[in-house]
């Protein structure tokens, strides 16, 4: 089971080895009222609740979150002159010190790309016919593991080496995290370098983490308004092409998941998790309006999962694709699933526990997308031209 790989290629508009915000890197816009803490504006939260990263660590499995722009444009050591210990975290410490337009002020993480690179977007600060705007590579609120002290890499430290990726859990002293290692949080360039090293035989195939979450830089993540579909295509095609050149491909599953902008849909899933926020004070005020002001179903008849309001579900349908030697051919699965079904698949594959209060306990299985019979697992490799989307040779 350890030799299997899952990679989740995550796009914010449209999320075996299974192939997702930092306090040091700020989000310029106002904090959302839907979250109780913003990782870039407060200390990472210490909690006894376990997340998928904690459970993978407890099981001794390698894993990582790889996100475009996570590598800081100004390193923590440079920003502090090498005098501040990693165990010291100061919220908003680097705000207003290193940003250069057109990047917004994100503390240490200020790399930026033009919107619409694939269609001639030039970005920059001057108005022009081909200036469709600019987008920061790193989007703090798209990085879930940065919210929690056990899985955060608040200073955006790089891995000590490619060989350390997936296993470099931070040091703790007396139960206090020291924030002294990459702690499973990396830049997309780290993943690309690791895959390249494995493909060229510099590292053995077992260095690819058992579970990897990939999040494109902003301009390639498929989100409406700031990411062109052709830029998104280039990200996905390049990553899958590279993986197919490694020995790991024979036991890898890539899941391409989308997480928002489903908008309205003619197919209604029904209410599987009710909510009542009708009495929530403003701000933020009531959150759910499916069956009434602040209402989603009847919480008196069915208690919401873990007693938490504001999680009306399920929402509109979204695409979810599986690419693997073990995926069924030309198959559309009609099992009712959610994004949390990805966690369910990971948990079931490695016999991990369910996460308290999570939708993984009530989400349908993705197993129907696979054929694990001994005669299967031999789907042909398919290389795509990242620019045109057309089929390539090897």
Q: In angstroms, rounded to a whole number, what is the distance separating the alpha carbons of residues 132 and 138?
A: 18
Q: In angstroms, rounded to a whole number, what is the distance separating the alpha carbons of residues 311 and 275?
A: 6
Give the single-character DSSP code of 230.
Answer: H
State the DSSP H helix or E strand holding residue 17, giving kind and residue range, or none if neither: strand 17-18
DSSP H helices, the chain, are 52-58, 76-80, 188-199, 229-244, 340-349
- Annotated domain spans of the chain: 270-306
Q: In angstroms, rounded to a whole number, what is the distance separating the alpha carbons of residues 65 and 88?
A: 23
Beta carbons within 10 angstroms of residue 154's beta carbon:
27
Q: In angstroms, rounded to a whole number, what is the distance separating the alpha carbons of residues 10 and 143?
A: 11
Q: In angstroms, rounded to a whole number, what is the distance separating the alpha carbons of residues 253 and 370?
A: 9
Per-residue pLDDT tens for 234-258?
Answer: 999 999 999 999 999 999 999 998 8
Per-residue pLDDT tens for 106-131?
Answer: 889 999 999 999 999 999 999 999 99
Residue 145 has pLDDT above 90, yes or no: yes
Q: What pTM did the predictor assign? A: 0.90
Per-residue confidence at 3, pLDDT binned at 50, 70, 90? Answer: low
Please provide the DSSP assignment of 26-49 as one string: ---SPPPTT-S--TTTSPPBP-S-
> Would you state the pLDDT for residue 284?
87
Where is pLDDT greater, at 378 or 95?
Answer: 95
Question: Using an 8 Å Cβ cutoff, are 105 and 26 in contact?
Answer: yes
Per-residue pLDDT tens for 204-217?
Answer: 999 999 999 999 99
Per-residue confidence at 316, pLDDT binned at 50, 70, 90? Answer: confident
Mean per-residue pLDDT, 39-55: 68
């Amino acid at each position: 089971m350890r030799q299997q790989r899952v990679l989740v290629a995550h796009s914010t508009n449209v999320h075996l080895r299974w192939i997702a915000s930092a306090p040091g890197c700020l989000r310029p816009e106002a904090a959302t009222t839907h979250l109780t803490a913003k990782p870039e504006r407060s200390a990472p939260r210490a909690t006894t609740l376990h997340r998928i990263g904690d459970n993978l660590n407890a099981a001794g499995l390698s894993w990582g979150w790889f996100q475009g722009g996570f590598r800081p444009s100004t390193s923590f050591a440079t920003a502090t002159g090498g005098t501040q210990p990693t165990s010291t975290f100061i919220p908003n410490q680097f705000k207003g010190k290193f940003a250069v337009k057109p990047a917004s002020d994100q503390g240490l993480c200020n790399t930026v790309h033009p919107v619409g690179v694939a269609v001639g977007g030039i970005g920059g600060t001057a108005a022009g016919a081909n200036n469709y705007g600019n987008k920061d590579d790193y989007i703090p609120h798209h990085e879930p593991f940065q919210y929690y002290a056990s899985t955060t890499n608040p200073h955006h430290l790089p891995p000590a080496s490619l060989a350390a990726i997936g296993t470099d859990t931070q040091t703790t002293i007396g139960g206090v995290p020291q924030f002294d290692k990459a702690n499973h949080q990396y830049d997309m360039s780290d993943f690309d370098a690791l895959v390249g090293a494995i493909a060229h035989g510099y590292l053995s195939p077992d260095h690819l983490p058992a579970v990897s979450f990939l999040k494109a830089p902003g301009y390639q993540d498929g989100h409406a308004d700031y990411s062109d579909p052709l830029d998104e295509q280039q990200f996905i095609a390049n990553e899958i092409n590279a993986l197919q050149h490694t020995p790991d491909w024979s036991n890898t599953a890539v899941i391409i998941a989308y997480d928002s902008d489903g908008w309205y849909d003619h197919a209604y899933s029904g209410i599987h998790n009710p909510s009542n926020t009708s009495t929530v004070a403003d701000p933020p005020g009531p959150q759910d309006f499916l069956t009434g002001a602040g209402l989603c179903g009847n919480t008196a008849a069915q208690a919401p999962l873990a007693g938490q309001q504001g999680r009306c579900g399920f929402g509109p349908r979204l695409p979810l694709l599986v690419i693997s030697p073990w995926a069924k051919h030309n198959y559309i699965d009609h099992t009712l699933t959610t994004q949390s079904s990805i966690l369910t698949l990971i948990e079931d594959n490695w016999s991990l526990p369910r996460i308290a209060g999570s939708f993984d306990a009530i989400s349908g299985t993705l197993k129907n997308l696979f054929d694990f019979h001994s005669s299967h697992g031999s789907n042909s490799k398919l290389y795509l031209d990242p620019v045109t989307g057309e089929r390539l040779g090897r």
